[in-house]
Structure 1
Amino acid sequence: MIEEPAQLTVNKARNRPTAAQIAAFQGVQTSFVADALGGDGALDPAIRPLGEGRDIRCVAAGPALTADAGPADILATYAALHFLSPGDILVVAFGGHQRCAAVGDRVMGMVRNNEAAGFVTDGPVRDYAGIVDVGLPVWCTGLNPASPFSNGPGTVGLPISIGGRQVATGDMICGDRDGVVVVPFDQIDTVIARLAEIHKLEAKLDAEVANGRRHADKVARLIEDGKINYVG
């Protein structure tokens, strides 16, 4: 006889970046963070800012608290509300399920009341107007008015698979209108160090474009070195 699984499994031990590490990501473009990861770290672009950021300013950076709700279920999301710390971003794996909403406006209101910085899921949400009133940054796959179940099983605080990536509690989550980037906990300091150089490089290129730059250096070098094969 197979035993029924526990409805909920919660990992109370968690990594958490320092206040200084969290502060280093505030206001940083996700494109810069992805560059600092060597072009890695972005979640599937199907996970977008709610309403493309028209009615909520979807910009946030904070440590992940993970929940694996599973397809069409919300029990783990309810449980995660008990373990949120101020500034966390609640990241909920919904199994990519699209036939009902992962959350609605009341749950989002409770996430905000726990002083979270944002919410990310690989499912749709519902109650658009209510979520806009809540005002918390949300990244999701769209909208669906149908409700989920609340039966479990589910997990809180354990690694999850979402948007083509593995996300662990304590990883840094950075989101804006371009999407969401995940910085693994053990790479946070390396990424922060690289961000300083990327900011300098981007500022230099911005100034050059503003001053009339018209071409990319790499192609210019290929032309100069005679390494382009012309036809016609």
Structure 2
Amino acid sequence: MIEEPPKLTIRRPARRPSAEQIAAFRDVPTSFVVDAMKGAGALDQAIRPLEHGGRLPGHVAGPALTAANGPADILATLAALAFLREGDVLVAGASGYAGCAAAGDKLAAMARNAGAAAIVTDGPMRDLEGIVATGLPAWCTGLTPASPYSTGPGRVGLPMQIGGQRVDTGDMIVADSDGVVVVPYERIDEVIEGIARVRAAEAALDAEIAGGMAVPPDIIDLLASEAVEYVD
């Protein structure tokens, strides 16, 4: 017989990127962040901006606060509101369940009041116009009017899986119109350095394209090499 679990298991947030580290990701495209991590870190493409009309901020960078819920439940997300700090991204796991909303306008409004910069979830949300009214950006898997429960069990502040990635409290979350990326806390400085290199490479490539480049030089060299066989 399985022992009845506690309604909530909570690890109080103890680590957080510095203000300087957080600022280093401000307005950095998610594609730059992924490139700086050599292709890693992106959440599943099903997790996308809730609103595409420009009525909510299109870019967010902030520390994760995790809330892991079972299917159709939001108890951990509600409990996480008590531990949010200004600028946190509330990462609300829904176990990928699509049968009801993982958050709505009331939860978004409370998260905004608690200082959240955004909500990211692997479930759908509801009350689109109400969420837009709060001004809180969100990334989710879609919309549904169906309501969740809040019975638990759930986990707050602990590592969890969401969108194919491991996310822990204190990791950096960067989100924009392309999707969501997680930067592990231990790699933040490394990735910041990598972003500088990616930015320089992108600027150089932009200049070449603006100058008329149509085919990358290495592709031209490849096409002229013995590594390519031409057939009639």
Q: Which TM-score tier does this pair reach, normalised by the shorter chain? A: over 0.9
Residue matched to 2:196: 196
Q: Match for residue 157 of structure 1?
A: 157
Deviations 1:182-229 (A, max 9, x none): 100100000001111111110111111112110123311212323211
Displacement of 1:69: 1.3
Letter in 2 for 1:48: R
How many residues end up aligned between the 2 structures? 232
Amino acid at match of 2:111: V
Shift of 1:77: 0.5
- Compare 53-62 and 124-133 and name the one that shifted more: 53-62
Q: What does residue range 28-177 of structure 1 map to in structure 2 within 5 Å?
A: 28-52=28-52, 54-177=54-177
What is the rounded CA distance, in whole Å, between the counterparts of 1:57 and 1:217 in structure 2? 38
Letter in 2 for 1:85: R
Q: Distance in 2 between matches of 1:120 and 1:217?
A: 40
- State which drifts further: 51-60 or 139-148: 51-60
**Cα distance in structure 1, aligned partners of 2:180 and 2:40:** 11
TM-score (norm 2): 0.97
Deviations 1:114-166 (A, max 9, x none): 11111100000000000111111100000010000010000100001100111
Cα distance in 1 for residues equivalent to 2:150 and 2:48: 25
Quick one: distance in 1 between partners of 2:109 and 2:32? Answer: 30
Identity score, percent: 56
Give the Cα–Cα distance (whole angstroms) in 1 for the partners of residues 31 and 72 of structure 2: 31
**Structure 1: stretches of 5+ with no match in the other structure:** none
> How far apart are the structure 2 equivalents of 1:29 and 1:80?
27
Q: Which moved more, 1:217-226 or 1:167-176?
A: 217-226
Deviations 1:32-71 (A, max 9, x none): 0000000110000000001335432231000000000111
Match of 1:178 in 2: 178
Question: Aligned partners of 1:4 and 1:204: how far apart in 2?
Answer: 59
For 1:21, the equivalent position in structure 2 comes to: 21
RMSD of Structure 2 on Structure 1 (CA): 1.1
User: What's 2:223 paired with?
Assistant: 223
Residue 13 of structure 1 deviates from its aligned partner by: 4.3
Q: TM-score, normalised by structure 1?
A: 0.97
Contact 1:53 1:177 in 2 (8 A): no
Matched-pair contact (CA < 8 Å) for 1:95–1:162: yes
Instruction: Write the letter of the residue equivalent to 1:27.
Output: D
Residue type at the aligned position of 1:158 = L
Q: Which whole-Å CA distance do the structure 1 matches of 2:192 and 2:6 have between them? A: 39
Provide the C-alpha distance between the structure 1 equivalents of 2:2 and 2:220, rounded to a whole number of angstroms.
66
Query: Which runs of 5 or more structure 2 residues have no equivalent in the other structure?
Result: none
Describe the SS at the equivalent of 1:51.
coil
Question: What SS does structure 2 have at the residue aligned with 1:181?
Answer: strand
